[in-house]
Chain A
Amino acid sequence: GAVVSQHPSWVICKSGTSVKIECRSLDFQATTMFWYRQFPKQSLMLMATSNEGSKATYEQGVEKDKFLINHASLTLSTLTVTSAHPEDSSFYICSARDTFQTYNEQFFGPGTRLTVL
């Protein structure tokens, strides 16, 4: 089955530093990838839609200058949290849609837990 990986799985950083999270589709091409944030006991909140070769589309209320998204290839999207603060601590999950599938399934990565001290 389609596999999506994320790296790192857990990161702890100091306030003010930047953190990069990678999302890779391992056995399929993904023109479109999605980035979600999930707080404890809450649902997935879509942050942005990442399209290969073009600018990401951000949801309302998500700062594009703080959450930098790069989708440079059909198998890799990165999310960089710039100048991270404790309120950015969360579980970040990416998903990817198979370019060659006609139906709408999104395959989710295992998530990255970010803790900002």
Chain B
Amino acid sequence: QKEVEQDPGPLSVPEGAIVSLNCTYSNSAFQYFMWYRQYSRKGPELLMYTYSSGNKEDGRFTAQVDKSSKYISLFIRDSQPSDSATYLCAMCVGAGNQFYFGTGTSLTVIP
């Protein structure tokens, strides 16, 4: 079993839709949870960073962590064509520890 599971998609939505991206994990010791956005042939850029359970909102993005279910989500409201990218979840046990990445979900927002 992989440490982190993520549906690779692809996911295609119309502009303005709400997008839900999800990852599940098996290691209950994970404490830090990140979402990265990666455009084609570019390095990942950090979107959201959360510690432990709960919700965190930043503009149109909301990150949600449910440690009891070992499940994290990223919601994108009012999706835009510029949101078209691959979204990677990542997590680690503690500061300074190895990151474990999901496979990434490819998202296309259609104008």
| Chain B interface helix/strand/loop/mixed | loop
Q: State in angstroms the CA–CA spacing of A34 and B44 once bound together.
A: 13
Given contacts A41-B8, A44-B88, A44-B101, contact A102 B95 (CB under 8 A): yes
| Chain A interface helix/strand/loop/mixed | strand
User: How many residues of chain B get a CB closer than 8 Å to chain A's CBs?
Assistant: 25
B17 close to A (CB within 8 Å): no
Given contacts A43-B88, A44-B88, contact A106 B42 (CB under 8 A): no
Q: State in angstroms the CA–CA spacing of A93 and B94 once bound together.
A: 22
A49 close to B (CB within 8 Å): yes
Inter-chain contact B95/A44, CB cutoff 8 Å = no
Inter-chain contact B49/A111, CB cutoff 8 Å = no
Query: Which residue on chain B has the smallest CB distance to residue A41?
Result: B8
Q: How large is the interface on A (under 10, 10 to 19, 20 to 34, 35 or more residues)?
A: 20 to 34
A32 close to B (CB within 8 Å): yes
B18 close to A (CB within 8 Å): no
Could you mark each residue 18-34 of chain B with 1 if its beta carbon is under 8 Å from any beta carbon of chain A, else 0?
A: 00000000000000101
Given contacts A43-B101, A43-B103, contact A103 B95 (CB under 8 A): yes
